[in-house]
């Protein structure tokens, strides 16, 4: 039991990918992964502190594990580890070590100390110019890979903990990135998602000095790579050459996630987002002027301190203007140590009302827009099977979820995960499309699926 570990991941895709790196580190040390905390000698939580709810979830897990903790090593990784630091030992005394996302390079040393029996080990330094280049990464899926190209964040949005939890912005060397991408392609990966909190602020530290658009061009041109995505883009750094790169490379997906946060210039100012409503809309126009139809998704915060009804109306009207394919919306959650937490707050009930209204408005937009796709044929990269509905679940290049059946048994008995299928869209809902398989491709290039459940 001692050389087994369980890891649960909360938060964004960067955390998901960090966990893949941690898994690589642990497996290289002789640990093997198990699927429940009760079977594990070491239990790890890779945490998120973006909103209060996310943080609370971690403490409820730590409370739950307390009863079975004897003999187990408990570690807290990620953003709550960084933000709460040694306070975690007060709140959950059975935790053995905490390591923040800016300190993962210290993990091997931390694990040495933990394995030697040392208690309350910490890795919490934020002063770093290094990136977490794990020697071994154990990815969850053998066909779709994340690559972090830029870590940390140098923006200073007044509501956000990320600059405190992930440290300053550091870009990875383009040569190392290309090596990793080539190796992934050689191993049968066909989809690559480039990650960063502000992915398009990428600045190549190598002498080549590539721009983000150049990096997209080069990765997009790699043989066997069929889909390249990147997230999250910051509107202020979204330049024309990125749109040109998408137009040049068919493998760059027809989808951009471009968080706006609010449709009101005065709220955006309070948030210190570095753009106003008009600038954001100009950026949207530029993206929509691409030769291919690029779909947009966004993040929105309602009830930011000082947000009036008129400000909120501006956000609703922005939804109508942009016609996003999807929207992630949140009630503002005050975060310790951030400037907005000290400002005059909007009452909780009001935040709730605005959130509901916004979601209803966007739901109608998505219902209408998705219905327009009925009758079309779309290519889906298959991600999983839905046993209950006897459907496969995939994604289109525009990042829409497409559930489909195989009524004429074209692919009988085959595991379609990781393959690209041609699907006829037959129905739609607000959040997904439904269809029927038209053709499945021959055997995929990758070997074996590692699925732990
Ligand atoms: N780096 C990305 C977003 C990172 S966090 C960007 O700049 O867009 C993901 C989303 O969480 C944000 O876009 C924002 O909408 C939301 N978020 C961040 N801090 C929040 C807070 N304090 N309360 C509510 N939502 C928040
Ligand atoms: Fe947070 Fe703003 Fe940085 Fe995004 S750009 S991670 S919202 S500080
Ligand atoms: Fe959460 Fe940290 Fe990501 S706070 S959203 S896990 S960067």
Instruction: Specify which residues 252 forms β-bridges with.
Output: 228
| DSSP 8-state symbol, 252 | B
Report the alpha-carbon distance of residue 348 to residue 13 in Å, rounded: 28
Strands 420-428 and 401-405 come out as unpaired
Residue range 114-125: mean pLDDT, rounded: 93
pLDDT of 313 over the 90 cut: yes
Residues 6+ apart with CB under 8 A from 285: none
From first CA to last CA, the distance across the chain in angstroms is 18
Question: How many CB atoms lie under 10 A from the CB of residue 115?
Answer: 13
Report the alpha-carbon distance of residue 148 to residue 132 in Å, rounded: 9
Phi, psi of 381 (to 5 degrees): -90, 120
For residue 52, the ligand closest to its alpha carbon is 1
pLDDT band (50, 70, 90) for residue 145:
very high
Judge if the beta carbon of residue 269 lies within 6 A of ligand 2.
no
Judge if the beta carbon of residue 167 lies within 6 A of ligand 1.
no
> What per-residue confidence (pLDDT) applies to 453?
34
Q: Whose CA is nearest to atom 10 of ligand 1?
A: 299
CA of 441 to the centre of ligand 3 (A): 37
Judge if the beta carbon of residue 233 lies within 6 A of ligand 1.
no
pLDDT in tens, 389-420: 899 999 999 999 999 999 888 888 889 999 99
Instruction: State pTM to two decimals.
Output: 0.96
Residue range 66-88: mean pLDDT, rounded: 90
pLDDT band (50, 70, 90) for residue 449:
low
CA of 426 to the centre of ligand 1 (A): 35
The rounded mean pLDDT for the chain is 95
pLDDT of 68 over the 80 cut: no
Judge if the beta carbon of residue 351 lies within 6 A of ligand 1.
no
Could you tell me the domains of the chain?
Answer: 4-123 (3.40.50.12160), 130-371 (3.80.30.20), 377-440 (2.40.50.140)
| DSSP 8-state symbol, 352 | H
Q: Whose CA is nearest to atom 1 of ligand 2?
A: 160
CB 213 within 8 A of CB 244: yes
CB 273 within 8 A of CB 283: no
Determine the atom of ligand 1 nearest the C-alpha atom of 261. Answer: 15
Q: Whose CA is nearest to atom 19 of ligand 1?
A: 160
The CA-atom distances, in angstroms, between 148 and each of 143, 165, 175, 322 are: 17, 16, 14, 28
Residue range 184-209: mean pLDDT, rounded: 97
pLDDT band (50, 70, 90) for residue 450:
low
Which of 274, 318, 329, 330, when mutated, tests ligand 1's pocket best, judged by the most ligand atoms within 8 Å of its CB?
330
The CA-atom distances, in angstroms, between 15 and each of 18, 318, 332 are: 5, 30, 21
Q: Which of 259, 302, 75 has its CA nearest to residue 153? A: 259
């Amino acid at each position: 039991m001692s050389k087994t570990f369980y890891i649960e991941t909360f938060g964004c895709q960067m955390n998901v990918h960090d966990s893949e790196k941690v898994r690589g580190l642990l497996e290289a040390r002789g640990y093997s992964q198990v699927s429940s905390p009760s079977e594990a000698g070491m239990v790890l939580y890779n945490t998120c502190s973006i909103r209060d709810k996310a943080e609370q979830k971690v403490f409820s897990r730590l409370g739950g594990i307390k009863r079975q903790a004897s003999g187990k090593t408990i570690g807290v990784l990620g953003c709550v580890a960084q933000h709460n630091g040694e306070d975690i030992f007060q709140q959950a005394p059975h935790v053995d070590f905490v390591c923040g996302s800016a300190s993962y390079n210290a993990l091997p040393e931390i694990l040495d100390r933990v394995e030697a029996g040392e208690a309350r080990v910490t890795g919490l330094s934020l002063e770093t110019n290094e990136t977490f280049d794990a020697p071994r990464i154990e990815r969850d899926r053998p066909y779709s890979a994340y690559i972090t190209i830029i870590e940390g964040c140098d923006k200073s949005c007044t509501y956000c903990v990320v600059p405190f939890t992930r440290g300053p912005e550091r870009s990875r060397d383009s040569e190392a990135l290309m090596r990793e991408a080539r190796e992934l392609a050689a191993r049968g990966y066909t989809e690559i998602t480039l990650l960063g909190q502000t992915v398009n602020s990428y600045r190549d530290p190598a002498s080549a000095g590539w721009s983000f658009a150049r990096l997209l061009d080069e990765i997009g041109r790699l043989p066997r790579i069929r889909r390249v995505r990147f997230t999250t883009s910051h509107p202020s750094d979204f330049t024309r050459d990125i749109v040109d790169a998408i137009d040049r490379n068919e493998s760059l997906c027809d989808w951009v996630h471009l968080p706006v946060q609010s449709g009101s210039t005065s709220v955006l100012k309070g948030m210190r987002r570095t753009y106003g409503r008009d600038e954001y809309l100009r950026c949207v126009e530029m993206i929509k002027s691409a030769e291919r139809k690029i779909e947009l998704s966004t993040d929105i915060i309602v009830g930011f301190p000082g947000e009036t009804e008129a400000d909120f109306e501006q956000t609703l009207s922005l939804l109508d203007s942009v016609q996003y394919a999807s929207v992630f919306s949140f009630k503002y959650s005050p975060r310790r140590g951030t400037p907005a937490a000290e400002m005059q707050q909007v009452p909780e009930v009001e935040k709730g009302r605005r959130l509901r209204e916004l979601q209803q408005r966007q739901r109608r937009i998505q219902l209408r827009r998705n219905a327009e796709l009925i009758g079309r044929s779309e290519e889906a990269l298959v991600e999983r099977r839905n046993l209950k509905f006897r459907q496969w679940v995939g994604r289109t290049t525009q990042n829409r979820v497409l559930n489909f059946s195989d009524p004429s048994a074209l692919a009988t008995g085959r595991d379609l995960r990781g393959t690209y299928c041609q699907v006829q869209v037959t129905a739609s809902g607000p959040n997904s499309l439904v269809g029927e398989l038209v053709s499945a491709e021959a055997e995929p290039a990758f070997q074996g699926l590692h699925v732990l459940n």
